[in-house]
Homo-oligomer: A and B are copies of this chain.
Amino acid sequence: MEDNSLKILGSCAALPSLKMNQSAYALNMNSKTFLIDCGENTQQSLRHYCVNHSRMNHIFISHLHGDHCFGLIGLISTLDLLGRRSDITIHSHKGLEEAMRPQLDFFCNYLHFKVLFETFSPFTSEIIYENDKIEVSSIPLKHSIPTSGFLFREKPHRRHLRADKAKFYNIPIEQYKFILNGDDYVTPDGMIVPNSNLTLPPSPQKSFAYLSDTAYNEKVVDKIKGVDILFHESTFLEKDRVRAKQTFHSTASDAAKIASLAEAKKLVIGHFSARYRDRKSFLEEAKPIFENTFLGNDGNEFTF
């Protein structure tokens, strides 16, 4: 799996199909792997699709429906068997630890690492995790139970130093870090070279948004503006709009509309209901609204 990529580990909604699993997604970003949701059998998908879990220390659970977290206990148990020794943190709404702890205590009391639970509110948008390079924000969604989406975004990069200018002004190496942080350069004879002459604008911040499960909800648009990849659930087709509304899910058209409003660069749709045998119809419905749409089937990988 490449860096800065999304791998689909499970593309099914509540019912798994014969060959595809319930919700689970691996995100590689800045050399770290994050697991998003963890339906049953995620451990096999991780292996099947060659996701290296040694750098996977954080799991994000969008909401507490079983098809998004029943794979946690098996995964944790197997990681231990495979020799894991570093702690793992599960980020979720309140309730997951209480439901899982008796199982963990009973079946996994031998673990060689800690399973830590970090909770966040489903009702606000907040930074729920950060490291030196990225931050993860929660996004309240509109589902039958409290549910959060996630925005993974790189922190702002520094400007790029122009090698030609550094050479031209003979800038000492120890000055580089100040220039990269925005300082002007003062030559030994007192001339001020403005930072804008020495540097190029920083690289754009890569970003990935995960919105599942949710009904159509324009409130999310401002939070994910210009995202590189938007994953948006698309449980139903328009012909089943009534069912989508009843169950607080989206259609392929809904997903495409949100991608369009958010000016996303790429839309990946998934969380498909088992009632549809042929998933091409999802694309046929979404593409007229948002051309750059892709099916997020198990095993598919998207780079950004």
**Contact surface of A with B, Cβ cutoff 8 Å:** 14-16, 18, 40-41, 43-44, 47-48, 64-67, 70-71, 73-74, 77-78, 81-82, 95, 98-103, 105-108
Contacts and interface: CB of A to CB of B under 8 A. Distances in A.
A77 B81 contact: no
A18 B71 CA distance: 16
Nearest to A72: B70
A96 to B, nearest CB: 8
Contact of A41 (B40, B65, B105): B40
Contact of A66 (B40, B67, B74, B102): B74
Nearest to A274: B81
27 contacts: A14-B78, A14-B81, A15-B78, A15-B82, A16-B43, A16-B44, A16-B78, A18-B48, A40-B41, A40-B74, A41-B44, A64-B106, A65-B107, A66-B74, A66-B77, A66-B107, A70-B73, A70-B74, A70-B107, A95-B106, A99-B102, A99-B106, A99-B107, A101-B102, A102-B102, A102-B103, A103-B103
Contacts of A18: 44, 47-48
Contacts of A15: 78, 81-82
Nearest to A48: B18
B66 A108 contact: yes
A84 to B, nearest CB: 13
A95 B107 CA distance: 10
Given A18-B47, A64-B107, A66-B77, A40 B95 contact: no
Contacts of A67: 77
Main secondary structure, interface of A, reads helix
Given A40-B74, A64-B107, 16 more contacts: A15-B81, A15-B82, A18-B44, A18-B47, A40-B40, A40-B71, A41-B44, A66-B73, A66-B107, A67-B77, A70-B74, A95-B106, A99-B105, A100-B103, A102-B102, A102-B103
Nearest to A78: B15
A81 B247 CA distance: 13
A168 B47 CA distance: 70
Nearest to A44: B16
For A18, A40, A47, the residue with the greatest tally of chain B CB atoms inside 10 Å of its CB is A40
Contacts of A71: 40
Contacts of A64: 106-107
Q: Which of A44, A99, A102 counts the most B-chain CB atoms under 10 A from its CB?
A: A44
A99 B108 CA distance: 11
